Amino acid sequence: MTELILKPGKERSLFRRHPWIFEGSVAHLNGRARPGDTVDVIDDNGRRLARAAWSPKSQIRARVWSFDPDAIIDDAFFKRRVAEALARREAMPQLAGQEGMRLIHGESDGLPGVIADRYGDTICLQLTAAGPDKWRNAIVGALVKATGVARIYERSDSDVRGLEGLEPVTGWVHGEAPEAKLSIDENGVRLGVDVVGGHKTGFYLDQRDNRLLTRDLAKGKSVLNCFCYTGGFSLQALAGGAASVVSIDSSGPALAGAQANLATNPQLDASRAEWLEADVFEALRVFRKEGRRFDLIVLDPPKFAPSAAHADRAARAYKDINLLGFRLLNPGGYLMTYSCSGGIGLELFQKIVAGAAVDAGRDARILRRLSAGPDHPIALHFPEGEYLKGLLVQAD
């Protein structure tokens, strides 16, 4: 077996059970390994520490499959890990009956580089690293065995694959495309899912609980949903009895999808919905000039900072959008503001939002910290898994 030898002192992160081994931690490789091959991780004293997937073109040179140095990485290993992940979710009462759910959440489920989202009888699978790319068939087989789904679509087309030296891979890897368009029932609202061409794996499952909170807050309120995509927050606000909902996105196709979603929910009052195709920053500046105000504002922008290297530029964008949000918020109103940028931590994000409130001349308080739902667990030893952070803020 090929051995990955660590530099002195670089074993400490493994003792803390962090699953990433960076390029600068590697002394050398004893033997030869192709991308995705399993290697033994050994410290400079010769102690065997873990078994990991080798990725020679990535700054993350290896991702740990198991901290048991005697673990056998084979088809049975992936069957066990998938079954364990599903069992964790089945034990959570709040996930019961959800048609849309994340089944595998990468490192936090012991499967680095593997994302699997279920939409009814369809799974969308994303493999972002060399290890799972090598074990594709085993992972697909494990998912089919554990769930019995009719089909699996692979959406391994994220930019991070390029950092691994991997080409994009998309297509049906189990079953065939459904005859009808995919959709899920999310807390009483029917929402379309596009696993082939939609964002991420076709939908933003991580915001499910926060969309439900929006519904709970929306009764009788004027709501502004920024970066609305296909309208998940908007439709839940309508379901909660919002007086009006203005939804903005720069993507015409996304707005068309949102309006199609509204049309499939006849119980919702479409006359209370306004859709605006525009740059959100520019649209909010226009609203300010017009003197428009709202009782509840949702800011769920795209990833401004994919890594810490982009944090400064992203911080300015988050400051700008939250400043505009506070200036459009009625006294006593609610701001639900989010960041999905891995390069912006929760502490920094709170400082940015606080700075925006000060510049807007608003006193405000945090009512709740918001995050992804329980189907997106965060391993204690892998804080990088907490990419989505949010705040529910009330302003005077």
Long-range contacts of 180-184 (CB under 8 A, 24+ apart): 182/119, 182/120, 182/122, 183/120, 183/264, 184/99, 184/100, 184/119, 184/120
Catalytic residue among 124, 226, 228, 340: 340
Domain C-terminal end among 35, 66, 97: 66
Q: Which residue spans within the chain are E strands per DSSP?
A: 3-6, 20-22, 26-30, 38-42, 48-54, 60-66, 100-105, 114-119, 122-127, 151-156, 169-174, 183-186, 189-192, 222-226, 244-249, 273-277, 294-299, 329-339, 364-370, 389-395
Which structural domain range is residue 24 located in?
3-66
> Kind of pairing, strands 294-299 and 20-22?
unpaired
Asked whether residue 24 is assigned to any structural domain, the reply reads yes
Q: At what angle do helices 311-327 and 280-290 cross, to 10 degrees?
A: 30
Q: Would you place residue 308 in the very low, low, confident or very high pLDDT band (cuts 50, 70, 90)? A: low
Place of tokens 């990419």: 387
Q: Give 250's pLDDT tier (boundaries 50, 70, 90).
A: very high
Q: Is the pLDDT of residue 267 over 80?
A: yes
Nearest to 156 by CA among 140, 176, 177: 140
**DSSP calls for 293-342:** -EEEEEE----S-SSGGGHHHHHHHHHHHHHHHHHTEEEEEEEEEEE--T
Domain boundary among 66, 96, 116: 66
Residue 342, pLDDT score: 81
Same structural domain, 263 and 335: yes
Domain annotation covers residue 180? no
Residues 143 and 278 in one domain: no
- pLDDT of 31 over the 90 cut: yes
Two tokens, residue 252: 């015409």
Span 67-88, average pLDDT: 98
- Are residues 29 and 168 part of one domain? no
Can you tell me the distance from the alpha carbon of 204 to that of 100, in angstroms, rounded to the nearest whole number? Answer: 10
Domain annotation covers residue 189: no
| Paired residues of 64 in beta bridges | 52
Residue whose pair of structure tokens reads 């995509």 in the numeric block: 229
**Residue 307 pLDDT:** 61
Q: Do 224 and 371 reside in the same domain of the chain? A: yes
Q: Coil, strand, or helix at residue 374?
A: coil
Contact, 65 vs 78, CB < 8 A? no
**Average pLDDT, rounded, for the chain:** 96
181 in a domain, yes or no? Answer: no
pLDDT above 90 (res 217): yes
Element holding 157 (H helix, E strand): none
Task: State the pLDDT at residue 360.
Answer: 98
Residue 217 vs residues 212, 221, 233, 324, 393: alpha-carbon distances, Å = 9, 8, 11, 21, 12
Q: Are residues 168 and 215 in the same domain?
A: no
Instruction: Please tell me the predicted confidence (pLDDT) of residue 313.
Output: 82
Q: Average pLDDT, stretch 313-325?
A: 93
Q: What is the per-residue pLDDT across 138-148, written as a single tens digit (0 to 9) for each? A: 999 999 999 99
Segment 121-140 shows an average pLDDT of 98
**Residue 349 and residue 275: Cα distance in Å, rounded?**
28
> Among this protein's residues, is 340 annotated catalytic?
yes
Does residue 305 surpass a pLDDT of 90?
no
User: 123: domain CATH number?
Assistant: 3.30.750.80
The pLDDT score that the predictor gives to residue 311 is 76
Same domain, 48 and 79: no
pLDDT tens digit sequence for 170-181:
999 999 999 999
Domain boundary residue among 17, 45, 66? Answer: 66
Which CATH number covers residue 293? 3.40.50.150
Indicate whether 166 pLDDT > 80.
Answer: yes
53 vs 341, which has greater pLDDT? Answer: 53
- Give the count of domains, the chain: 3
Question: Which pLDDT value is given to residue 344?
Answer: 87
pLDDT of residue 309: 66
Q: Are residues 91 and 128 in the same domain?
A: yes
Asked if 274 and 390 sit in the same domain, the reply is yes
| Residue 278 tokens, joined | 């525009």
Q: Tell whether 192 is covered by a domain.
A: no
pLDDT of residue 103: 98
> Higher confidence at residue 144 or residue 305?
144
pLDDT at 209 over 80: yes
**What DSSP state is assigned to residue 113?**
T
Is residue 195 situated within a structural domain? no
User: Which CATH number does the domain housing residue 61 bear?
Assistant: 2.30.130.10
- Is 113 among the domain residues? yes
CB 196 within 8 A of CB 125: no
